[in-house]
Structure 1
Amino acid sequence: MSTRESKSPPFSSLARKASVVAGATLVSRIMGFIRDLIIAFTLGAGPMADAFFVAFRIPNLLRRLFAEGSLTMAFVPVFTKIKKESGAQSAFALARSVQIWLLLILGGITLLALFFAAPLTMLVAPGFREDPEIFETTVTLVRICFPYIIFISSVALCMGILNSMNHFMAPALAPALMNITLILSALGAYYSGMSVALALSFGVLASGLIQWLFQYPFLKKSGFGWRGNFSLFDPGVKRIGKLMLPTVFGAAVYQLNILAGTILASFLASGSIAYLYYADRLVQFPLGVFAVAIGTAALPSLSSLAGDRDMQGFKGTLNSSLSLTLFIALPSTAGLIGLSYPLIDVIFGRGAFGDDAVQATSLALVGFAVGLPAFSCVRPLLSAFYALEDTVTPVKIAVISLVLNIALGILLMQHLQHLGLALAASLSSWVNVLLLGLALGRKTGPWLTAGTNLVKMTLASCALLFMLKFVSVTSWMAMALIPVWAVIYFALAWMLKIPDAQILINSLKHKSGQE
């Protein structure tokens, strides 16, 4: 019996769940692009932009560490197990208990951050000390942005509850509300003559509250309410805490790599942090829309299969997740590399964002794009480890990857400036994925069965990149031709008989009611 015929959730079912997350996330990412376009237009890539991005980076990193990267992935397996063994009400009591702990812990961290904002800023952007005015501005923005972590971590808890109950739409749509809030903040400040960086910082804080309030009607519809039984010392809380402690480092290695890049970039020319930020935002589009969506959809299934000790189904679901992830990530890599300049030019190249910024950001995009397949595979692999309740192994590997990223960053930035930092993040993530795969094999035995398909996807993506490099058109025409390149890739996949292409098409037909 093949992995896709085991009693694991069918691959088409996984694809449909992932398509719900991807569809909602696509809306959020499009709004994110508009947000970044507006920020680039109103703020540019100068010192004030660097100040805002550093201030926003700190709570955003903690969001990845304590919320999406750690809390959600530790919470879902425990919540799923309790719901299956003791019923929904016991699982809901666990969720309320976790929320109280979040308020206590993150409230305390926020108070410390407000008091020690200056040392915190110096830690994240030590190079800013050379410009006292920018340093003080950044400290002020950090104090405004930081409480966002309280609200967004609660949003992540809501996401874990809803995902465990097979509701994926509302959590995936929540970031769109943040993007809308930041767009309105930037435009309002720009046309009223106020400080755009200051308005954006207040917008970050407001967006956290808005996203949390947005989740409540969907939680209520699922039968959950914040009023009810709870226990601060619930055994499930203790289990989540034990799982979270190591995942704070392991589940967010990519974000920690980006933070290391921010610290190192603060020593480079003005604008370097902004170049890396804008390039990372473009890489985050396929990563967030598809890779994270697939990992999010797969985690509850992997947790359930691990709980049932169905290792054949477990491996089948993991292979399906990775295959579907790379089916999108590999051609996305080709597209980002082949269209790096046109993408940056069309999306950001206006207003305060001049041609020099376009050139510099397009180089950073190439550096990050090299690592996109690795960035994409991390989430499914981590989901597999967390479903098996092994959070220690990813931490050990994350430490190796982080140290390698810093070492490579210091080495490469000497000659390649900010491009070297982007390449360092990519190379260290490839090492991270390789070590995760090897470690998983030691736990489960041979598990990778999609190797042939991966070779075919790589060949199709290389062919796509080759064609992109030989087409010389204007930036706007290059953007207009993106749907054509997507069709060409699907045609190549069909000719190479890659099953993911047919399954995705069938899934879309099912969603549109054509089956």
Structure 2
Amino acid sequence: MSVDESKSDRDESQEVLDKKPDITAEPNQLPEPAASQESGSAPVKDKKHSEGIGKTFGLVAILTFASKFIGLARDIVIMQAFGTSKTTDYYYFANLVTGNFLVLFGGLGGPFHSSAVSVMAAKKDSPDIGKLTGQVLMVTTIILSVLTVLIYLLAPYVIPIVIPNADPKEVLTNLNIMLPMIIITGLVGVGAGISNTFKEYFWPSLAPAMASIAIIAAVILYPEAGGICLAVGTLLGAVGQFLVQLPGIMKSRPELTSLGKLEGGVKEYFHMLGPAAISTSIGQLNVYIDVFFMSGLAVGSYTALLNANKLIQLPLGVLVVSMIVPLLPRFTKQVADGEIDALKDQFRRAVRVVWFLVLPLVTLMLAMPGPIVRLLFQRGQFDEQSTQLVVLALSYLIPSSFFYVARDILTRIFYAHQDSTTPFRIGLAALIVKALGDWLLVGPLGLGGIALSTTIVTIFNMTMLAICARKKIGSLGVRTMVVPAVIMIGGSAVCGVVASFCQSFIIAHLSLPGKVGAFIALGLSIAIAAAIGLSIYVALCLLLKLEEPAIALKRIKNRAK
């Protein structure tokens, strides 16, 4: 995430995912390595299929946004009840094993989902698809059950080592309540992959909201239970996430069959799953490294880091996940049909469009971090000290957004080639970079050092993936992305500066009585400032003839028809 593109990739406005090249190449016929993409053989666009992909993107984006919004409401409820305290720290420490396992492994784009899509997409019309689905679900459940037992037995010995300054009993209590989520994770991930294969996007995209709703209910009903109510709510939410996968799973007509003779697709599934799961686990080890180095920092530091990351993930999660869900099956088919030029073109457009949408939003967070955090969280047990901790982490994490987008889309190129080994190796190297970064930066910068090392690792990861992708499929045409990227970054910077000035001016001159009045004034100042900044950003992009505003406008018009 070089071969020049014919007529330039930017000669006509096209929606990412809304235009699909007509597949004309013979299966498995890849272009010669020396073949240039500067030829005039631009693929013909398939309008009907592109409209379907556009609708898929829109549906997934809307549902993912709804889930993210409910997730934000969940975080607000938790912070109001417990603030950045030992209660939240210990819950989140335990959640590293269970809740994060569900998000990373069972979520859209996770290893279970990606592996299931890679195998099911090629076999969904097979008469044995029901047997394949049943065996994949059964074997996944058995393996994760064994893993759950191992974690239960080893946790009392590992927790004091990984989190030396925490109360191991408190962490262990939360962990044991949530342990069944390990098993649920595989079922959720495979279910989402099956749903994706059979074009059932509604329920998988809505699933994360189930977890948030359950936690909100638990905190509101039993706040006096402290971390216990959070753990119970999280477990019930995971069960809800699995239940909403059932409509998609049933489309494959799963059969309970003997495991004595496995379907061929089962072996392919685990061949993909193994390296992908290990690669994701390495990413999880980065989090444990953070926890180890943060255990001596101020109480609530880990909670603050998580909340900062969640704020950034609000725009990133909606746009990147919405992009990845329809992209992976397309990448996979393009690779199978030898349409490597089409894959590269799709990659470039996807990255540019998400950059266009994400950069101004995260820049607004960087320009107005204090007001935004106060508006969302500062009430109840969440005080000014908590706000400053989140702002500190946010300031160092935001620059990673630019690279995060390209990294996640690049990873799907490798999955489309059924290559999960390369991301695994890069993740292993990133683990070393993360440990070194935390060790060097936590001393002088504290919490900010942990956040900064995360940004550095994201840059490293994206760079290595891009280098390896170039070796695998040839030039990605990155040069064509430089000018639009510079325009977007420059426009976002202007957007942020103007918004920061406007927000400060408005809040200084807008006075409303009472706490509610002050809350409304703060919200209005942020909203007006953001609207002004975003308007300037779009105007600058149009003035400099960037095509992405036209793409976004076209999408809105198409959705309105």
* Fold equivalence (TM over 0.5): yes
TM superposition shift of 1:461:
1.4
Correspondence for 1:74: 115
Structure 1 36/64 Cα, relative in aligned 2: closer, same or farther at 3 Å? closer
User: Which range moves more in the overlay, 433-442 or 7-16?
Assistant: 7-16
TM superposition shift of 1:165:
2.3
Q: 1:306 aligns with which of 335, 352, 356?
A: 335
TM superposition shift of 1:229:
5.4
Matched, 1:366 2:404: no
SS in structure 2 at match of 1:345:
helix
Correspondence for 2:214: 181
Structure 1 465/509 Cα, relative in aligned 2: closer, same or farther at 3 Å? same
Structure 1 377/60 Cα, relative in aligned 2: closer, same or farther at 3 Å? farther
TM superposition shift of 1:375:
1.9
The one-letter code sitting in structure 1 at the alignment partner of 2:255 is R
Q: Does the CA-based 8 Å contact 2:123-2:129 persist in structure 1?
A: yes
Correspondence for 2:245: 215
Correspondence for 2:408: 379
Alignment of 1:75-474 (within 5 A): 75-83=116-124, 87-128=125-166, 134-190=167-223, 194-220=224-250, 223-227=251-255, 233-251=262-280, 254-448=283-477, 449-471=480-502, 472=504, 473-474=506-507
Matched, 1:509 2:509: no
Correspondence for 2:100: 61
Correspondence for 1:52: 91
- d(CA) in 1 for partners of 2:103, 2:440: 27
SS in structure 2 at match of 1:226:
coil
Correspondence for 2:43: 6
Deviations 1:355-408 (CA, angstroms, capped at 9, x unpaired): 011011111011111111222222211111110112121112112222111111
The one-letter code sitting in structure 1 at the alignment partner of 2:552 is L
Matched, 1:477 2:524: yes
TM superposition shift of 1:77:
1.6
Structure 1 304/340 Cα, relative in aligned 2: closer, same or farther at 3 Å? same
TM superposition shift of 1:88:
4.5
Structure 1 243/218 Cα, relative in aligned 2: closer, same or farther at 3 Å? closer
Correspondence for 1:36: 75
Deviations 1:261-289 (CA, angstroms, capped at 9, x unpaired): 22221221211111111111111111211
In terms of fraction of residues, the more helix-rich structure is 1
Correspondence for 1:20: 59
The one-letter code sitting in structure 2 at the alignment partner of 1:275 is A
- d(CA) in 2 for partners of 1:294, 1:121: 37
The one-letter code sitting in structure 2 at the alignment partner of 1:6 is P
TM superposition shift of 1:102:
1.4
- d(CA) in 1 for partners of 2:258, 2:354: 38
TM superposition shift of 1:8:
6.9
- d(CA) in 2 for partners of 1:227, 1:234: 12
Q: Does the CA-based 8 Å contact 2:283-2:427 persist in structure 1?
A: no
Q: Does the CA-based 8 Å contact 1:117-1:143 persist in structure 2?
A: no
- d(CA) in 2 for partners of 1:75, 1:226: 14
- Aligned residues, how many? 500
The one-letter code sitting in structure 2 at the alignment partner of 1:372 is S
- d(CA) in 1 for partners of 2:104, 2:139: 16
Deviations 1:469-500 (CA, angstroms, capped at 9, x unpaired): 43314443343223443333333322222222
Q: Does the CA-based 8 Å contact 1:464-1:489 persist in structure 2?
A: yes
Identity %: 24
Structure 1 8/125 Cα, relative in aligned 2: closer, same or farther at 3 Å? farther
TM superposition shift of 1:307:
0.8
Runs of at least 5 residues in structure 2 that lack an aligned partner in the other structure: 1-5, 15-41, 508-521
The one-letter code sitting in structure 1 at the alignment partner of 2:414 is F
- d(CA) in 2 for partners of 1:254, 1:15: 31
Deviations 1:58-102 (CA, angstroms, capped at 9, x unpaired): 11332355433211122212211223xxx2443343222211111
TM superposition shift of 1:218:
4.1
- d(CA) in 2 for partners of 1:7, 1:124: 55
Matched, 1:491 2:530: no
Structure 1 242/422 Cα, relative in aligned 2: closer, same or farther at 3 Å? same
- d(CA) in 2 for partners of 1:415, 1:491: 41
- d(CA) in 2 for partners of 1:450, 1:236: 38
Structure 1 25/259 Cα, relative in aligned 2: closer, same or farther at 3 Å? farther
TM superposition shift of 1:112:
1.8
Structure 1 262/22 Cα, relative in aligned 2: closer, same or farther at 3 Å? farther
Runs of at least 5 residues in structure 1 that lack an aligned partner in the other structure: 129-133
TM superposition shift of 1:337:
0.8
- d(CA) in 1 for partners of 2:51, 2:279: 30
Deviations 1:413-455 (CA, angstroms, capped at 9, x unpaired): 1011111101100111011101111110111111134333222
Structure 1 116/228 Cα, relative in aligned 2: closer, same or farther at 3 Å? closer
TM superposition shift of 1:314:
1.1
- d(CA) in 2 for partners of 1:346, 1:89: 55
TM superposition shift of 1:351:
0.5
TM superposition shift of 1:298:
0.5
- d(CA) in 2 for partners of 1:89, 1:339: 56
Structure 1 453/172 Cα, relative in aligned 2: closer, same or farther at 3 Å? same
The one-letter code sitting in structure 2 at the alignment partner of 1:90 is D
SS in structure 1 at match of 2:244:
helix
TM superposition shift of 1:256:
3.9
TM superposition shift of 1:151:
1.5
Deviations 1:146-171 (CA, angstroms, capped at 9, x unpaired): 21122232111111111122232211
- d(CA) in 1 for partners of 2:341, 2:187: 35
- d(CA) in 2 for partners of 1:107, 1:89: 29
Structure 1 29/303 Cα, relative in aligned 2: closer, same or farther at 3 Å? same
Q: Does the CA-based 8 Å contact 1:251-1:382 persist in structure 2?
A: no
